[in-house]
C-alpha cells in the first residue's frame, strides 16, 4: 500500500514571489513547520492508501487523461489561514473555476472510471505553505491579497511518506499538459 495523491507542482518561477511573501510571516512566529519549496503543490485529489494494482491503473491512464489538456495559469489570490481564520494551515488560495476546474473534473472522472476511491471533500484550491503547531496560540491575522500566477504545465501522481521532520513526496508519474 502506498499513500498517494494527484497534484500540480508549484513551478520554479513562483517560488521567489512566494518566499518574499512569507518573509514577514516567518519573522512573526517560530511555531510553524514550513513546507520545503520542492514539496509545494496544489492537490487535485487525495487518494489515501492504494494498492500497487490501483497505482498501475492510474499510471497507464495518466498521459491519456492529462496530455490532452493545455497549459494554463491559475491565480493564487490570497495568503491566509486554511481552511478558515483559525485553521492550522498557512496557504495560498485561489478561486475554483475555469481551466483548473476542468482539470479537477478530469481527475475525478479518471478516478471514477477506474473505481478508485478518493477523498470527496469540496475542492478548495490551495497551496499549503506551513503548518501551525498550536493554532490557538497564533494570534497574528494572516490575510493578505496577492496575485501569484501559477504556471500549470504538468500533473503529478505523488506518493507521500510522513516522517518526524515532515512529509517526503516522490513523483510516481508526471504528465506534461498538451503542446506548449
CATH number at residue 161: 3.90.1140.10
Residues paired with 80 in a beta bridge: 91, 143
Q: What is the structure's pLDDT at 109?
A: 95
Query: Would you call the peptide bond into 171 cis, given omega within 30 degrees of 0 as the criterion?
Result: no
Query: Widest CA span of the chain, in angstroms?
Result: 48
pLDDT digits (tens, 9 = 90+) for 19-30: 999 998 888 766
Q: What is the structure's pLDDT at 165?
A: 76
Q: What is the structure's pLDDT at 89?
A: 93
Q: What is the structure's pLDDT at 180?
A: 47
Please check whether residue 108 lies inside any domain of the structure: yes
Please check whether residue 63 lies inside any domain of the structure: yes
φ/ψ region of 47 (left if φ > 0, alpha if ψ in -120 to 50, else beta) reads: alpha
Please check whether residue 86 lies inside any domain of the structure: no
Q: What is the structure's pLDDT at 78?
A: 96
Domain enclosing residue 28, as ranges: 2-72+99-125+152-176
Q: What is the structure's pLDDT at 124?
A: 95
d(CA 119, CA 72): 25
All residue ranges of the chain with pLDDT < 70 are 29-30, 139-141, 179-180
Nearest-5° angle of CA 41, CA 115, CA 6?
A: 5
Domains: count for the chain: 1
Please check whether residue 142 lies inside any domain of the structure: no
Please check whether residue 79 lies inside any domain of the structure: no
Element at 25 (helix H, strand E): helix 12-28
Q: Where are the alpha helices (DSSP H) in 29-176?
A: 52-66, 98-113
Please check whether residue 23 lies inside any domain of the structure: yes
Please check whether residue 85 lies inside any domain of the structure: no
Please check whether residue 130 lies inside any domain of the structure: no
Amino acid at each position: 500500500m502506498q499513500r498517494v495523491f494527484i497534484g500540480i507542482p508549484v513551478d520554479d518561477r513562483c517560488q521567489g514571489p512566494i518566499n518574499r511573501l512569507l518573509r514577514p510571516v516567518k519573522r512573526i512566529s517560530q511555531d510553524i513547520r514550513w513546507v520545503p519549496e520542492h514539496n509545494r503543490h496544489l492537490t487535485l485529489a487525495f487518494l489515501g492508501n492504494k494498492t500497487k494494482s490501483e497505482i498501475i491503473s492510474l499510471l497507464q491512464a495518466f498521459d491519456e487523461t492529462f496530455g490532452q489538456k493545455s497549459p494554463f495559469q491559475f491565480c493564487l489570490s490570497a495568503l491566509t489561514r486554511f481552511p478558515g481564520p483559525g485553521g492550522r494551515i498557512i496557504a495560498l488560495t485561489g478561486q475554483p473555476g475555469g481551466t483548473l476546474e476542468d482539470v479537477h473534473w478530469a481527475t475525478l472522472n479518471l478516478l471514477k472510471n477506474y473505481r478508485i476511491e478518493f477523498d470527496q471533500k469540496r475542492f478548495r484550491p490551495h497551496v499549503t505553505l506551513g503548518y501551525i503547531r498550536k493554532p490557538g496560540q497564533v494570534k497574528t491575522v494572516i490575510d493578505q491579497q496577492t496575485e501569484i500566477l501559477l504556471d500549470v504545465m504538468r500533473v503529478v501522481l505523488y506518493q507521500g511518506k510522513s516522517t518526524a521532520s515532515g512529509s517526503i513526496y516522490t513523483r510516481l508519474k508526471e504528465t506534461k499538459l498538451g503542446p506548449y
